Amino acid sequence: MRIVLLGAPGSGKGTQAKLLTRKYHVPQVSTGDLLRAAVRAGTPLGLQAKAAMDEGRLVSDDIVLAMIRERLSHPDARKGFILDGFPRNLAQAEALDAMLENLGKPLQLAVLIDIDLDILMQRMTGRRTCESCGQMYNIYSSPPKLEDRCDVCGGNLRHRADDNEETIGNRLRVYENQTAPLIDYYRKQGKLRTVQGLGEIEDVFAAISKVVEETLAEETTAPSAAARAIGAMKKAAGKKKAAPGTAAGAEKQAARSKSQSKSQSKSQSKSGPKSRSAKKAASTKKTVTKKTAARKAASTRQAAAKKASAVKKTRVKGAVTKKTTPKKQASTKKVASKKASVKKTVKKKAAPKKKTAVKKAAPKK
């Protein structure tokens, strides 16, 4: 499990990270804790970091990233980690992504513990931490039984040097300007989940556990967050109308024509028999009309040439005409199918006049 806890200073990231550690058996990695340890130990890195920490500014990215790289290389971090207080700005978030990508173990989840900034001041000024076991208290909301003594191990409780009003003000400003943009950063990656930070510690923890469980369940059944992000991008692209001429446009066009021709052939096959008999009837009526015209023409001596041609046509269609009177449509079908050549001729000649014939035929029906 690889998680980042996001939230303003005092939102409860440290407390929740400890609970998650106990439940999921992965280490809490807190850059604040690592820096404080370095300051206490008086290492060169600690001395460098101290001034920034005392003023509530961010320690340089180089120092913090070197610390994180070193910590994540420990064996206990192989099965996962809960990052608390890191990343604190976009450069750190991008460096973390690159680091985890190299390991082939991308971040799975970023949980934002959302809380009103006004409440944070009281929370932070009341904060006390056990020097021995790290247990956290708040003299306002969750005080120890004995003043300045840890309930768990009896160790000394310490008030953090940077938990004074001036420094807290600076830290909250730094959070707003530099860390809050990470909310959008992880939202765009499809990895952000938000829980409300107000209320009992157990309730907040239950809400965080729920999103962790959901994420783990999704990972086993669904594509990864990266695949989801790609899916979301594709979906967004699909919503934009595919431009004609583009591959997507061509694909859509092909799909449309396919479904059109399918539905056409369906409707054609549904209306097939009716169409054929209608055609036959129309063809019969056309022939009758032509025959009449030919007879009239024949009776007109001035149209000898027309008469001859009309007679020819009548002869060709004669077989059909005789058999395609409305009474004998059924037998016409058989004859027509047997005499393919005759049928072809009839169709060819009848085709251009189909519409007229149908129109004419309709009132008779």
Catalytic residue annotation: 13, 88, 127, 160, 171
Is 46 a residue that touches ligand AMP (CB under 6 A)? no
Q: Restricting to residues 16-35, which ones interact with ligand AMP according to CB under 6 A?
A: 31-32, 35
Binding mask 143-182 for ligand AMP (x = CB under 6 A): -------------------x--------x-----------
Tokens representing residue 84 in the block: 């608390």
From first CA to last CA, the distance across the chain in angstroms is: 78
Is 88 a residue that touches ligand AMP (CB under 6 A)? yes
Is 123 a residue that touches ligand AMP (CB under 6 A)? no
Residue 224 to residue 228: CA distance in whole angstroms: 6
Smallest distance from ligand AMP to CB 166, Å: 13
Is 128 a residue that touches ligand AMP (CB under 6 A)? no
Alpha carbon 194 to its chain centroid, in Å, reads 19
Residue 245 to residue 108: CA distance in whole angstroms: 39
**Cα 177 to Cα 43, 209, 252, distances in angstroms:** 29, 28, 45
In the set 53, 113, 294, 320, which binds ligand AMP (CB under 6 A)? 53
When the beta carbons of 2 and 162 are compared against ligand AMP, the nearer one is 162
Q: Binding segment for ligand AMP among 54-62, 145-153, 233-241, 336-344 (CB under 6 A)?
A: 54-62
In the set 9, 12, 27, 197, which binds ligand AMP (CB under 6 A)? 9
Q: Binding segment for ligand AMP among 52-60, 256-264, 280-288, 325-333 (CB under 6 A)?
A: 52-60
Smallest distance from ligand AMP to CB 130, Å: 15
Q: Strand 109-114 relative to strand 192-196: parallel, antiparallel, unpaired?
A: parallel
Is 64 a residue that touches ligand AMP (CB under 6 A)? yes
Smallest distance from ligand AMP to CB 88, Å: 4
In the set 4, 58, 130, 150, which binds ligand AMP (CB under 6 A)? 58
- Nearest 5°: CA angle at 207, between 202 and 212? 120
Is 110 a residue that touches ligand AMP (CB under 6 A)? no
Smallest distance from ligand AMP to CB 189, Å: 19
Residue 28 to residue 33: CA distance in whole angstroms: 10
Mapped onto helix, strand or coil, the DSSP state of residue 192 is: strand
In the set 59, 120, 294, 320, which binds ligand AMP (CB under 6 A)? 59
What residues contact residue 84 under an 8 Å CB cut-off, 6+ apart?
A: 5, 13, 14, 17, 28, 29, 30, 31, 32, 33
What residues form DSSP beta bridges with 149?
156
When the beta carbons of 59 and 157 are compared against ligand AMP, the nearer one is 59
When the beta carbons of 56 and 307 are compared against ligand AMP, the nearer one is 56
What residues form DSSP beta bridges with 196?
114
Is 2 a residue that touches ligand AMP (CB under 6 A)? no
**Cα 90 to Cα 180, 212, 233, 306, distances in angstroms:** 9, 23, 22, 92
State which residue has the least CB distance to ligand AMP: 32
Is 282 a residue that touches ligand AMP (CB under 6 A)? no
What residues form DSSP beta bridges with 158?
129
CB-based contact 354:281 (threshold 8 Å): no
Alpha carbon 202 to its chain centroid, in Å, reads 33
Residue 285 to residue 297: CA distance in whole angstroms: 18
Where on the chain is the footprint of ligand AMP (CB under 6 A)?
Answer: 9, 31-32, 35, 52-53, 56-59, 64, 85-86, 88, 92, 162, 171
